[in-house]
Chain A
Amino acid sequence: MSSDVVLCQIDDNSIGTITINRPDVRNAYNAELLEALTDAVDAFAVDETVRIIRLRGNGSHFQAGADIKWLQANASLSPEENLSVSALTTNTMKRLNECVKPIVALVQGGCYGGGMGIVASADIVIAEQSAEFAITEARWGLVAGPILPQVIGAIGLQHTRRYALSVERFSADRAHDIGLVHQVCEDGNLDEAAAPLFSLLLRAGPDALQATKALILDVTGIRLSDRVADWIVEQNSKQRQSKEAAEGLGSFLDSRMPHWYPEDRYDG
């Protein structure tokens, strides 16, 4: 069931591990990775030998955003194809967030853009001390719609507003303060830190866990409705095809500041 870019494994404790596996590009996502991630989560959701899902990323970074080559390729898609791309990202976040089984995310290094959405969609998050977070989309002239519902669910509207508009990076400790991360551990200690957590989760009735998750999703109103998803997809897709987004991508590829940054502020 696993592809190369997403690895799956089930252990004797009924914990299913999903590992994002593109360490050479900081686990950057493209269509293949998003589809593999969704397939993995969907498969574990119905696998009776899995009670709890562990989600992690190989390499130094959990998930550092969208694959640049994919963004370049997307620039020449038709409007319909672009809608599909936005829908894929939006739907991946939804499937993660609404997975019937609890997901524990273990986070190291950079967690930017889409990575934030993935983390916000988990139920419990443990992060290394040096992990770093940011809602990066606006920096590139994009809009973070596909991850906003989950991020708002995790950290609330206001922190989302602030970090999405400023694109500030924030630390694991700050992420803990605002509710994105539940526990911060020493670098290199994710598994040791997570062990007591898995112990606790395994003491809970398996069906009760699923029923509890469903309960939370319903009473807090964080399930993504089709109406809202459609709005997000259309806004995201339109912005991705804009001149501003092209300039954002171009500035990244050319290693220069984008035109919207005042020239007299450039460093030397």
Chain B
Amino acid sequence: MTADSVSVVINKDNIATLTLDRTKALNAFDRAQVEDFNGVLDGLKVQTGLRALVVRGAGKVFCAGADVRYLRDMGAGSWEQNLADSKDYAGMSKRMRLLPVPVISCVQGGAYGGGIGVVAASDIVISEQNAKFAVTEGRFGFTASIMMPYLLPRIGIRQARRWCLSSEMMSASEASRIGLVDQVVQEGALDDALAMIINDVLRNGPVGIQQTKSAMNYLSFPPFNDETISASVEAFAKGRACTSAQEGAASFLEKRKPAWVE
């Protein structure tokens, strides 16, 4: 099954692999890609016998976040449309969390901005050792928000403050040190590492797995609930509409420095 920017295949062991495939945009999310992603996840939710979902990005980079034009356009439009679209965007990570099988992301090259969101919402993350990670939103004047309900339980408030407010680039080993990534492997070794994890997962009872994931969601802090997600959705929508975001998008597209940089 293929939507335009997201493809999915399911193998004989009932392992689904979703591939972000918009390499000309470094797999950045635009409106269509969000819809495609959500569509695939909705299909997988009712896929009988599914045992795991693997998420990958085609090309050099796992996912460079969200398309700047898309963010700008949503921010510049009506508040209602902005908010509705923000909910859809947040729907991706929510679906990953609610899928009753382990979600395993395999990262090469880099995960930036919204790409960190996909990583954070995954159950297990394997990364090549030369991959880089950065919460880049602030550089463009946007507020890192949708990832927050998932980033906080992963790396904790102390690391969230450091990496979100500075938008510094971190190495795979630093990402592993702070818990953003679960396992780091040599370049080219993602498939072998993935195979081992899949084998482990297949040995575990599917219902036991589903219940475990459900228990983790129940015990989450911040709570994994509508209130938390709504707060992140609203911050995201506001963040896209504000002056900084519009200036950030404009300066990026016009290939100049934003107003807040000397």
User: A residues touching B (Cβ–Cβ < 8 Å)?
Assistant: 137-145, 148-149, 152, 156-162, 164-168, 221, 228, 231-232, 235, 239, 242, 244-245, 247-248, 257-258, 260-262, 265
Contact = CB atoms under 8 A, between A and B. Distances in A.
Contacts of A138: 204-205, 208-209, 212
Q: Max chain A CB contacts within 10 Å: which of B156, B200, B205, B212?
A: B205
A162 B212 CA distance: 10
A152 B209 CA distance: 17
29 contacts: A138-B209, A138-B212, A139-B203, A139-B204, A141-B208, A142-B205, A144-B212, A145-B215, A156-B156, A157-B153, A159-B179, A160-B216, A162-B123, A162-B182, A164-B216, A165-B123, A165-B204, A165-B212, A168-B200, A239-B207, A239-B208, A242-B207, A244-B205, A244-B207, A244-B208, A248-B205, A260-B206, A265-B13, A265-B199
Contact of B215 (A148, A221, A258): A148
Contact of B153 (A156, A235, A239, A247): A156
B102 interface: yes
Contact of A166 (B13, B154, B155, B201): B201
A244 B215 contact: no
A172 B100 CA distance: 30
A145 B70 CA distance: 42
A141 B207 CA distance: 7
B219 A166 contact: no
A235 B218 CA distance: 11
B213 interface: yes
A217 to B, nearest CB: 15
Contact of B211 (A157, A167, A239): A239
Interface pairs A-B: 5 shortest CB-CB: A141-B205, A143-B211, A138-B208, A157-B153, A138-B204
A221 B218 contact: no
Tell me if A's interface is mostly helix, strand, loop or mixed. Answer: helix
Interface string B123-137: 110000000000000
Given A137-B208, A156-B156, A232 B203 contact: no
Contacts of A235: 211, 214-215
Contacts, number: 111
A265 B13 CA distance: 10
A23 B242 CA distance: 65
B205 A158 contact: no
B109 to A, nearest CB: 22
Interface in B46-102: 102
Interface string B4-21: 000000001100000000
B25 interface: no
Given A164-B212, A165-B213, A258-B205, 11 more contacts: A138-B204, A139-B208, A143-B215, A144-B215, A157-B216, A160-B216, A221-B221, A228-B219, A235-B214, A239-B211, A260-B205
A140 B204 CA distance: 7
B200 A149 contact: no
Given A152-B219, A156-B153, A157-B221, A265 B207 contact: no
Contacts of A261: 202-203
Contacts of A141: 205, 207-208
Contacts of A149: 219
